[in-house]
Amino acid sequence: MAKYILFQNDRFYRMAPDEAKRDKWMTTPNIVAKEVDDATYKNVGCKKTVPTLNGDNISYEDKEHVAIEDTERAQNALSDVRDHLISEFKFIADENYDSDTEVKNMVAFLEGIDKTSVTSFPEGQEIHEYIYDLPGCPQIFPLELYY
C-alpha cells in the first residue's frame, strides 16, 4: 500500500498511510503529496529525518541522535518521549479520542511501556524508533490523524 508525505508550501506538513487519507488532506490549500517507501515513511514518523520539498524532489535532513549511556538518563528520555507522544495523540484526537479505538489502543500501548527495561540508547537510535520497534506497537503516527 502506498504511503505519502504531505507538504504545504514546500514544508513538511502531515503523513498519509494510504490514498484515502491522502485524498482527505488534498482538500487543504497548497498541499502536495509525495509517495514514499515504507522505510522512509517510518523514518519521518519516528523523527529520524525531516523532509523538505524542493521543486519536485524531496530532500531529507537526518537528525543527529547522540548515544545515551547513563541508565537514568535513558529511562528519563524514554519516559519524556512516551509522555509527549501520549499528549500529542490525545491533543490531535481531541473530542474524537473516546471514539477512536486506534488512538486509544496506541495510548494504552504507550502507557504500558516499562521504562526500566532500558539501560541506554546507542548513537543514531531515535527514541521514537525504539518505541515503534517494540513488539505489539501499533504503527500509527500522530501526524496521520485526520478527523
Which sign, positive or negative, has the C-alpha torsion 15, 19, 23, 26?
Answer: positive
In whole angstroms, what is the distance from residue 48 CA to residue 132 CA?
12
pLDDT tens per residue, range 56-104? 999 999 998 899 999 999 999 999 999 999 999 999 999 999 999 999 9
pLDDT tens per residue, range 11-34? 999 999 999 999 999 999 999 999
- Copy the grid coordinates of residue 11: 514544508
pTM assigned to the model: 0.93
Q: Does the pLDDT at position 1 exceed 90?
A: no
Which amino acid would we find at residue 8?
Q
What is the pLDDT, as a whole number, of residue 32? 97
DSSP classification of residue 100: -
In whole angstroms, what is the distance from residue 100 CA to residue 87 CA?
15
In whole angstroms, what is the distance from residue 41 CA to residue 16 CA?
9
- Copy the grid coordinates of residue 143: 501526524
